[in-house]
Amino acid sequence: MSEQTPTAATDSAATAGTATSSAATEGGADLHIVDVTKAFGSFKAVDDLTLTVPAGSFFALLGPSGCGKTTTLRMVAGLEEPTAGRIVIGAEDVTYRKPFKRPVNTVFQSYALFPHLDIFENVAFGLRRSGVPKGNIRGEVESMLDLVELSTYARRKPTQLSGGQQQRVAVARALINKPEVLLLDEPLGALDLKLRRQMQIELKRIQIDVGITFVHVTHDQEEAMTMADTIAVMNAGRIEQMGAPMELYENPVTTFVANFLGQSNLIKGSLTGKTGGDALLEVQGARMAMPTARVHSERDEVWVGVRPEKMQISRAGTSTVGENAINGVVTDASYIGVSTQYLVELPWGQEVSVFSQNLSTEGPLSTGDGVVLHWNPAHTFALDASQDADAGAEKIEGDG
């Protein structure tokens, strides 16, 4: 997370308004990051990164501390210069352009509001600095405060607002200069859980209303999945996988993505052949199947993956015709209201997690109960067994 003083953040935003308000178009602009590398000495924070953020989309860079996501955002903003590669916004190469001459504005976690100015003047600051006629300012500011639902707070000071309200002021101040791309640097990190969830909905609503390109940096998986149209999961300066939230969650292509986005059970198995559109598997003597499109390995030795909530758990002896199935013994059961979370030990000693909705009137299973775990073959994915099964499991918060 990068922090800016109020002066630094707002001066940049205000001057950017001069260069961009006339050029900004409805829907924003495409952002192209082309073969970009950023090295600090011998360390590559970003390693040959190429991606395109479509105009008008809500795009998230997601990853743990040190993955390169914040460095990437700072290069787009002009706060860092790439060691190699190009950054293009619309049709303009802005790689070496000063921050205040780029059609972007940034919203920071620290809000960076002027404490001595009321909310109206905080939002109006950029317009005044960029020379907008005084007669036009009131209407534009009032319209922007309507957008963020803060019209009745115009004459309050920032300290009189909640954290979520202050963040909406910061968004309004950034948007009023009509940037083609809005950059959000861990914008919800300082909020408590309830406010954070409210602001996730608010930011998505605002993005849909204004229709410009949002690029959001976060380490929070739920936050990215709630708001973004497209997520790029970053690790060690590179993109592990990029796509729609559902695509990444349901069909991860690496162990890092499987573990970083939610939780996965990864069981050692091997590919034994194909039949029709299915791949055949063997897992510790049990035969299984899965769609070939969900196999992401050139090797026969694979991690057979399934999400905990995709597994069904039944007492031993239950018939599982047409499903993948493994026997086990319950080692822990945690009742959490909407579901019970089980740990189940498999015959070879590995423990897996199962999240089971509390739909039965019989109550949860108990520790020591023999069970059969079964799931739809279509919910299975297979990953290269040479990858670390624990990669991405430790979700570290912080800068990146």
Q: Which residues pair with 241 in a beta bridge?
A: 233
Q: What's the pLDDT band for 209 if we cut at 50, 70, 90?
A: very high
* 8 Å CB contact between 263 and 339: no
Q: Which residues pair with 283 in a beta bridge?
A: 286
Q: Please, is 155 exposed, middle or buried when counting C-beta atoms within 10 Å of its C-beta (0-12, 13-18, 19+)?
A: exposed
pLDDT tens readout for residues 303-354: 999 999 999 999 998 888 889 999 999 999 999 988 999 999 999 999 999 9
Asked if the model's pLDDT at residue 264 lies above 90, the reply is: yes
Q: What pLDDT, on a 0 to 100 scale, did the predictor assign at position 11?
A: 45
Residue labelled with tokens 């007669």: 135
Q: What pLDDT, on a 0 to 100 scale, did the predictor assign at position 5?
A: 42
Distance CA 48, CA 187 (A): 26
Q: What pLDDT, on a 0 to 100 scale, did the predictor assign at position 322?
A: 85
Asked if the model's pLDDT at residue 399 lies above 70, the reply is: no
pTM for this entry? 0.87
Distance CA 193, CA 43 (A): 34
Question: Which residue segments constitute the domains of the chain, with CATH numbers given?
Answer: 6-249 (3.40.50.300), 263-384 (2.40.50.100)
Asked if the model's pLDDT at residue 3 lies above 80, the reply is: no
Q: What pLDDT, on a 0 to 100 scale, did the predictor assign at position 27?
A: 60
Asked if the model's pLDDT at residue 19 lies above 70, the reply is: no
At residue 382, φ and ψ (nearest 5 deg) are -125, 130
Buried b / exposed e over 104-126, threshold 16 CB at 10 Å, is: bbbbbbbbbbbeebbbbbbbbbb
Q: What pLDDT, on a 0 to 100 scale, did the predictor assign at position 26?
A: 53
Mean pLDDT is highest, among 20-29, 168-177, 191-200, for 168-177
pLDDT tens readout for residues 357-366: 988 766 789 9
Q: What's the pLDDT band for 377 if we cut at 50, 70, 90?
A: very high
The percent of residues in the chain predicted with pLDDT above 70, rounded, is 91
Q: Read off the pLDDT of each residue in 355-374 and give the average, rounded to a whole number.
A: 89
The percent of residues in the chain predicted with pLDDT above 90, rounded, is 74
Q: What's the pLDDT band for 15 if we cut at 50, 70, 90?
A: very low
pLDDT tens readout for residues 265-279: 999 999 999 998 899
pLDDT tens readout for residues 113-152: 899 999 999 999 989 888 888 888 999 999 999 999 999 9
At residue 309, φ and ψ (nearest 5 deg) are -80, -10
Asked if the model's pLDDT at residue 93 lies above 80, the reply is: yes
Q: Read off the pLDDT of each residue in 250-264 and give the average, rounded to a whole number.
A: 96
